[in-house]
Amino acid sequence: MIRILANDGVHADAITLLEEAEYQVDTERVPQDKLASVLNRYDALIVRSATKVRQQEIDAAPNLKIIVRGGVGLDNIDVAYAESKGIKVINTPRSSSQAVAELVFAHMFSLARQLHLSNREMPTRGATEFKKLKDHYSDLGFQLRGRTLGVLGFGRIGQEVARIGLGLGMNVVPVDLVQRELKLEVELYKLQDAALSVTMRTVSMEEMLPQADFITIHIPFTGGKSILGKEQFERMKKGVVLINTSRGGAINEPELLEALDSGRVMAAGLDVFVDEPMPRADLLNHPRISVTPHIGASTVEAQGKIGLEIADILLEFFGTPG
């Protein structure tokens, strides 16, 4: 029997499919410090972002044949070491693109209309200072239509962000490692079977930085130098808004705080942090930062799709009995 540990959980549909194939799926979470002691029981490991799979865990798992990451990044797994031990490592990039892209715009709308602040202040100040708050937020609000959106990384998620931005009437400037032209289909949901085809040209980051009113990051970060920091902030348009739903550390956090306080950066939306699950308090409490607790792929629809993709991967890898 194939034994699978889904240590960060997995959608019920995936469990059903795997159990129908006579696999055993264990979903009770094993704490990180105990993980190495149980991995020798399993043929496959399913994780999301919480569980770390480093050399210690890999060395303790002689029977492990595959690690599946439910989501896009692989930075919580020592991929090279696992593969050197003959363990296949794979992620599920197709399933969460829409969910992450929509969260990008949730932060953008929140910051454009100060929703993150009004939801903090209205419960305590609204009863006595409603007019003052209304005037304050009215002075700060702005619209997205007509603004320039820099998309740093133009894979599946970056392209989904571009589609939404184009639909909102934004000017989208994509950046990719390889400069190229590609066509995007922008669906017009109110018109049956209708779509707008747009040809886009990716540019260098140097070309994008001074143009963008918003910049969103969709490039994997592996723990090296931050993608955006003081040097890049100085080349950006003053008053830019930054969004990071990619990986903690992709934006240099101390330098971001300095740029926010100086006014070089107007605001930031962060779903990911360097010190997860305990981000630094000055980020969480900063009045010009909108925060979410690493929930980019956490929608009912995305989790269902991720679960089915994981099941397909494992069924293809191990096959079915008989």
Q: Which of 247, 255, 264, 309 is catalytic?
A: 247
Asked if 275 and 253 count as a contact pair (C-beta separation under 8 A), the reply is no
DSSP classification of residue 63: T
Contacts of 93 (CB under 8 A, 6+ apart): 72, 155, 156
Q: Which residues pair with 81 in a beta bridge?
A: none
Nearest 5°: the CA angle 166, 168, 169 is 65
Cα separation values, 277 from 28, 51, 286, Å: 20, 11, 18
Q: Which residues pair with 280 in a beta bridge?
A: none
CA distance 132 to 193: 47
Q: Which of 11, 116, 294, 309 is catalytic?
A: 294
Nearest 5°: the CA angle 198, 209, 142 is 75
Q: Which of 113, 276, 280, 288 is catalytic?
A: 276
Asked if 294 and 49 count as a contact pair (C-beta separation under 8 A), the reply is yes
Asked if 107 and 83 count as a contact pair (C-beta separation under 8 A), the reply is no
DSSP classification of residue 238: T
Q: Which amino acid is at 23?
A: Y
Buried/exposed code over 19-38 (b: 16+ C-beta within 10 A; e: otherwise): eeeebebeeeeeeeeebbee
Where helices occur in the chain by DSSP H, the ranges are 12-20, 32-35, 55-59, 79-84, 97-112, 115-140, 156-167, 205-208, 230-235, 253-262, 281-284, 300-318
Whether residue 116 lies in the annotated active site: no
- Helix, strand and coil content of the chain, in percent to the nearest 5, comes to 40, 20, 40
Whether residue 276 lies in the annotated active site: yes
Catalytic positions: 247, 276, 294
